[in-house]
């Protein structure tokens, strides 16, 4: 008889947190889940506003077999992959320096974290002011005699290679990855490296066999987040990219805003593809996080 009240009490304690979170979670599920369902229905051909009521996979077939879609997919993947790799490499390099104590280390660490709260649109605007052919760097180089006119500066913005897009992402994502790696290094401390040093390991061996395995779970987790974000971001590619080829989020955004409503189901099909990729990356992130805890 005494076990029953304890069981009820445990159930109440177990339901306490879910019940407290239920209103906020319900609102998120309603808004996000409702949008996903509407988008999925339109991508499958159910769009009564323009007389489409039959479900079909024709929009996915049209999108996935379109040459322009494949070009946009490759551009999106290339930008996201380059951003992810470079942000991870530079973040590791910077954090190896920032974890050391030196004159001005606190100020340097603060400046390293400054880009984190800056909106991406502000970062893109800064890139435009800096590296366009009429930007600050081109004018300084011209005034210093390095070029005859600002027009001699290489075209890095609105280029097919997406250099300005990648630079904008790097300015934002390097501190994001670096903050996680720096926290790991500071929590671990120098004892493992000191033990490896006493065993005769040089600097390269200490980094490869000691530090890298320690920080790799954090690097992998943040890299997945960076890849998912840059893969699905449309503001910076829309502002800094060329009209064609555009990244997939930009293509979906433009087709969604097109006055021809017949293009909206295809835009939703592209959006669903992006959502599926993001969900797969989220699953991979959770597995890596669990593996890191173990």
The predicted model gives 200-228 an average pLDDT of 84
- Which pLDDT band holds residue 123 (cuts at 50, 70, 90)? confident
Beta pairing partners, 52: 47
CA distance 236 to 172: 12
pLDDT at 87: 94
pLDDT at 22: 78
The predicted model gives 16-43 an average pLDDT of 79
CA distance 130 to 289: 38
Question: Which of 223, 274, 266, 269 lies closest to 249, judged by CA?
Answer: 274
| pLDDT tens figures, 51-94 | 878 888 888 888 888 888 889 889 998 999 999 999 999 999 99
| pLDDT tens figures, 184-203 | 888 877 777 778 788 777 87
SS3 47: strand
pLDDT at 78: 92
| Average pLDDT in the chain | 83
- Which pLDDT band holds residue 175 (cuts at 50, 70, 90)? very high
The predicted model gives 252-273 an average pLDDT of 87
Residue 135 CB neighbour total at 10 angstroms: 18
Q: Is the pLDDT of residue 180 over 80?
A: yes
CATH number, domain 65-122+155-293: 1.10.3720.10
pLDDT at 1: 47
Q: What ranges do the domains of the chain cover?
A: 65-122+155-293
- Which pLDDT band holds residue 290 (cuts at 50, 70, 90)? low
Contact between residue 130 and residue 136 where contact means Cβ atoms under 8 Å apart: yes
Query: Which stretch of 50-54, 180-184, 251-255, 272-276 has the lowest confidence by average pLDDT?
Result: 50-54
pLDDT at 45: 85
């Amino acid at each position: 008889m005494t076990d029953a009240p304890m069981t009820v009490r445990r159930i109440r304690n177990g339901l306490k947190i879910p019940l407290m979170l239920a209103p906020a979670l319900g609102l998120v599920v309603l808004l996000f889940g409702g949008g996903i369902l509407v988008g999925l229905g339109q991508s499958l051909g159910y769009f009564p506003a323009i007389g489409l009521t039959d479900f079909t996979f024709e929009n996915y077939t049209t999108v996935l077999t379109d040459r322009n879609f494949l070009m946009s997919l490759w551009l999106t993947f290339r930008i996201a992959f380059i951003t992810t790799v470079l942000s991870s490499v530079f973040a590791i390099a910077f954090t190896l320096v920032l974890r050391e104590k030196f004159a001005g280390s606190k100020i340097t660490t603060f400046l390293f974290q400054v880009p984190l709260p800056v909106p991406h649109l502000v970062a893109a605007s800064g890139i435009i002011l800096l590296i366009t052919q009429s930007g600050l760097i081109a004018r300084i180089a011209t005034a210093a005699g390095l070029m005859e006119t600002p027009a001699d500066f290489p075209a890095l913005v609105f280029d097919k290679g997406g250099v300005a897009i990648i630079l904008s992402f790097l300015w934002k994502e390097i501190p994001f990855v670096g903050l996680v790696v720096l926290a790991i290094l500071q929590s671990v401390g120098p004892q493992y490296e000191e033990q490896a040093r006493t065993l005769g390991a040089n600097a390269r061996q200490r980094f490869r066999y000691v530090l890298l395995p320690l920080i790799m779970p954090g690097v992998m987790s943040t890299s997945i987040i960076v890849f998912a974000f840059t893969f699905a971001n449309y503001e910076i590619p829309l502002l800094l990219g060329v009209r064609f080829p555009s990244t997939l989020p930009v293509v979906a955004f433009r087709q969604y805003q097109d006055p021809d409503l017949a293009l909206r189901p295809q835009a939703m099909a592209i959006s669903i593809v992006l959502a599926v990729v993001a969900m797969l990356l989220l699953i991979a992130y959770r597995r890596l996080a669990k593996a890191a805890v173990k």
